A and B are shown apart, each in its own frame.
Chain A
Amino acid sequence: GNSVTQMEGPVTLSEEAFLTINCTYTATGYPSLFWYVQYPGEGLQLLLKATKADDKGSNKGFEATYRKETTSFHLEKGSVQVSDSAVYFCALSAQADSWGKLQFGAGTQVVVTP
């Protein structure tokens, strides 16, 4: 079956540091890949997405590139802020007859200190 594996947290960084969160996936076919962010007490917000190999999704300084050869979709940000403290989820959508069925990773908590 489909699965998503992401690095365990918490990841603790100082403000302005470089952030990488690793995400690898297993899926049949050509899934779409997503990063969602969850702030405390909130639901999930779509951060970025990529729908085919070599696509780069980007938003709010975050980037991720769909790498089919390594089945990866690592999230990066060059200079984090305290406001980036949240839990980040990597997810995939691989079912042709579904618009809303996502397979999520376990989530990675990021803590940014001033």
Chain B
Amino acid sequence: KAGVTQTPRYLIKTRGQQVTLSCSPISGHRSVSWYQQTPGQGLQFLFEYFSETQRNKGNFPGRFSGRQFSNSRSEMNVSTLELGDSALYLCASSTKRQGNTEAFFGQGTRLTVV
């Protein structure tokens, strides 16, 4: 069974640009969540999509957005990049088994803003 696939693995962008990150969840998983990981703030929840609808959102500015497609693949977009957006962005694919949830993470996309 294939795991969570995130593309690209590495990205370098200039301040003011925008970027789109992609996540393909585990087959059959309908929930995709995004996290930002930085040395200073740790792991912070961005948002969760379930069956193409955003159902939870973290405390991030509107420059951070996402969407989910009918095949459960998800994209995350960051507009007007700032230096502080440099981080590892992790995608988690989640399911519910026997009443309990489990989240499985991809390897992440390392975004560097210069």
> CB-CB < 8 A to A51: which residues of B?
100
Check if A114 is an interface residue, CB within 8 A of chain B: no
On A, residues with C-beta under 8 Å from B are 32, 34, 36, 42-46, 49, 51, 89, 93, 95, 97-107
Looking at B4, B96, B102, B106, the one whose CB has the most chain A CB atoms below 10 A away is B102
In the bound complex, how far is the Cα of B103 from the Cα of A103, in angstroms? 12
Looking at A36, A44, A89, A101, the one whose CB has the most chain B CB atoms below 10 A away is A101
In the bound complex, how far is the Cα of B92 from the Cα of A43, in angstroms? 10
Check if B114 is an interface residue, CB within 8 A of chain A: no
In the bound complex, how far is the Cα of B4 from the Cα of A2, in angstroms? 27
> CB-CB < 8 A to B32: which residues of A?
100
Q: How many A-B residue pairs have CB under 8 A?
A: 71
Secondary structure class of chain A's binding surface, majority of residues: loop
Q: Determine the interface band of chain B, counting residues with CB < 8 A from chain A.
A: 20 to 34
In the bound complex, how far is the Cα of B48 from the Cα of A89, in angstroms? 20
B42-80 Cβ-contact flags toward A at 8 Å (1 or 0): 110100101000011000000000000000000000000
On B, residues with C-beta under 8 Å from A are 4, 6, 31-33, 42-43, 45, 48, 50, 55-56, 90, 92-96, 100-108
B107 to A43, Cβ gap below 8 A? yes
A101 to B108, Cβ gap below 8 A? no
> CB-CB < 8 A to A107: which residues of B?
42-43
A101 to B48, Cβ gap below 8 A? yes
